[in-house]
């Protein structure tokens, strides 16, 4: 019998499924919880999540269940991998079943609309007695489950939590670095989704490499500026959770946000694009919230503002490009004057 500490992953989407299989490969028994009882039973039997990661067999140590109490019983480490829109509800549901000593880690890259809350802030509100952390980085689920070489970041103020996550996830193909800047890591993971939409649009319009390089670099500047005003360390944006995840998300059609942008740039309506993707596109909700917060704090974010005008104010792409290229000049790199 396997006596390794039990782990739970809450959320049976693409990342939750890949994460649970990664944990199983490291010889830890892991319970993957999903809301739908029928789907949980089917995946447990077939060993394949056909909706999110077809053609990949789950590790034998992954147990797929729809019972939260069963998933969390005697569990020492819990990863929450659900969309930001339901994050608080799910946390409230699992609260009665958590072991007193359990560590709780969010892998959700989004922002809650209720008061502009990050997922770690929701954990702090709902689970104040549990050590909490954030796992983020350039991690496509499909490549993780294929055991491609991957790096990620665990951010927490709790050293024991960091060590437990690293011991659970690190392997010959998965490396986990540490950071104590939860807000910076979390904001980077949410903000980059906005800019992946922009780059996807640029690719669809056959923009050159000069344009793509400029967009990604100026996107990073906006991310750093906004994160600084929110109390994060802008240097965090230079690591895996920032520039690493930005490059990944802006450069591959495995990214739902990139695919949304590409569809919009190809002339499809927002509704058509979302229906085509068929999964939650976190960047849309994040764009709305960040635009509102940036206006409130008077943070200069021309790219995010331009995308908002295109998607929600029905401005044309050509008029927005003209506005961006004729706007006031600003510094290239200035960490002291963010």
113 and 203 fall within a common domain: no
Based on the fold, state whether residues 153 and 200 are members of the same structural domain. Answer: no
pLDDT value for 18: 97
Mark whether 61 and 210 lie in a shared domain.
no
Mean per-residue pLDDT, 38-66: 96
Is 2 within a domain?
A: no
Note whether residue 153 is domain-resident: yes
- The stretch 81-97 carries a mean pLDDT of 95
Residue 337: pLDDT over 60? no
> How many domains are there within the chain?
2
- Residue 215: inside a domain, yes or no? yes
Question: Are 217 and 83 found together in one domain?
Answer: no
Separation between Cα atoms, residue 180 and residue 240, nearest integer Å: 14
pLDDT higher at 110 or 164: 164
Q: What is the pLDDT of residues 21-34, one digit of tens each?
A: 999 999 999 999 99
Share of the chain residues as helix, strand and coil, in percent rounded to the nearest 5: 55, 10, 35
- Residue 1 is predicted with a pLDDT of 40
Residue-level pLDDT at 335: 53
- Are 165 and 208 contained in the same domain? no
| Boundary of a domain, candidates 131, 147, 180 | 180
At residue 239, does pLDDT exceed 50?
yes
Residue 166 and residue 231 in one domain: no
Any idea what the CATH number is for the domain that residue 42 is in?
3.40.50.720
Whether 91 is covered by a domain: the verdict is yes
Residue-wise pLDDT for 138-161, tens only, equals: 999 999 999 999 999 999 999 999
Assess if residue 288 is contained within a domain.
yes
Asked whether residue 36 falls in the same domain as residue 140, the answer is yes
What are the backbone dihedrals phi and psi of residue 154, each rounded to the nearest 5 degrees, phi first?
Answer: -105, 120
Same domain, 161 and 112: yes
Whether 192 is catalytic is yes
In a domain, 336, yes or no: no
Cβ–Cβ < 8 Å for 134, 176: no
pLDDT at 333 over 70: no
In a domain, 337, yes or no: no
pLDDT in tens, 190-224: 999 999 999 999 999 999 999 999 999 999 999 99
- Domain-terminating residue out of 180, 214, 244: 180
Indicate if 121 and 201 belong to the same structural domain. Answer: no
**pLDDT for the residue numbered 52:** 93
Mean pLDDT (the chain) is 91
The tens digit of pLDDT for each residue in 269-302 reads 878 887 888 776 788 889 999 999 999 999 999 9
Question: Span 249-274, mean pLDDT?
Answer: 87
CATH number at residue 315: 1.10.1040.10
In the chain, the percentage of residues whose pLDDT exceeds 70 is 95
Higher-pLDDT residue of 320, 89: 89
What is the arithmetic mean of pLDDT over 129-139?
97
One domain for residues 154 and 203: no
Please indicate, yes or no, whether residues 176 and 194 belong to a single structural domain of this protein.
no
Integer Cα distance of 129 and 177 in angstroms: 25
Q: Name the residue range of residue 251's domain.
A: 190-330
> Measured between alpha carbons, how far is 137 from 216 in angstroms, rounded to an integer?
16
Which of 6, 95, 142, 192 is the catalytic position? 192
- Residue 121 dihedral angles phi and psi, to the nearest 5°: -70, -35
Least confident of 198-212, 252-266, 314-328: 314-328
Does 278 reside within a domain? yes
- As a whole-number percent, the residues of the chain with pLDDT over 90 amount to 77
Rounded to an integer, what distance in angstroms lies between the CA atom of residue 338 and that of residue 251? 26
Burial 240-253 (b: 16+ CB within 10 A, else e): bbbbbbbbbbbbbe
Q: Which of 110-119, 182-191, 258-267, 275-284 bottoms out in mean pLDDT, i.e. has the lowest?
A: 275-284
**Better-predicted residue by pLDDT, 5 or 171:** 171
Which pLDDT score, from 0 to 100, does residue 336 have? 47
The predicted pLDDT at position 3 comes to: 55
For residue 75, pLDDT beyond 50: yes
Local structure of residue 158 (DSSP, 8 states) = -
pLDDT at position 234:
87
* Same domain? 271 vs 162: no
């Amino acid at each position: 019998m396997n006596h390794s500490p039990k782990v739970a992953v809450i959320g049976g989407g693409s990342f939750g499924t890949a994460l649970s299989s990664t944990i199983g490969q490291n010889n830890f028994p892991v319970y993957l919880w999903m809301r739908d009882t029928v789907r949980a039973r089917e995946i447990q039997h077939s060993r394949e999540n056909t909706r999110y990661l077809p053609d990949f067999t789950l590790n034998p140590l992954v147990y797929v269940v729809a019972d939260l109490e069963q998933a969390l019983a005697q569990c020492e480490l819990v990863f929450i991998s659900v969309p930001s829109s339901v994050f608080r509800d799910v946390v409230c549901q699992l609260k009665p079943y958590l072991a007193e000593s359990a560590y709780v880690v969010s892998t959700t890259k989004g922002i809650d609309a209720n008061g502009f809350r990050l997922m770690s802030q929701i954990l702090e509100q709902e689970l104040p007695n549990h050590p909490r952390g954030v796992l983020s980085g350039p991690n496509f689920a499909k490549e993780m489950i294929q055991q491609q070489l991957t790096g990620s970041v665990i951010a927490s103020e709790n050293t024991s939590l960091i060590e437990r996550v690293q011991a659970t996830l690190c392997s010959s193909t998965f490396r986990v670095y540490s950071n104590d800047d939860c807000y910076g890591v979390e904001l980077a993971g949410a903000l980059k989704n906005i800019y992946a939409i922009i780059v996807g649009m640029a690719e669809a319009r056959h923009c050159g490499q000069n344009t793509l390089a400029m967009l990604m670099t100026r996107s990073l500047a906006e991310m750093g500026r906004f994160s600084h005003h929110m109390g994060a360390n802008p240097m965090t944006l230079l690591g895996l959770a920032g520039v690493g995840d930005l490059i990944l998300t802006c450069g591959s059609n495995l990214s739902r946000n990139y695919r949304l942008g590409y569809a919009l740039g190809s002339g499809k309506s927002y509704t058509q694009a979302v229906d085509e993707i068929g999964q939650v596109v976190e960047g849309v909700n994040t764009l709305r919230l960040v635009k509102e917060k940036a206006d409130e704090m008077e943070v200069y974010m021309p790219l995010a503002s331009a995308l908002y005008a295109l998607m929600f104010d029905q401005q044309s792409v050509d008029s927005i490009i003209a506005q961006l290229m004729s706007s006031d000049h600003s510094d290239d790199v200035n960490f002291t004057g963010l």
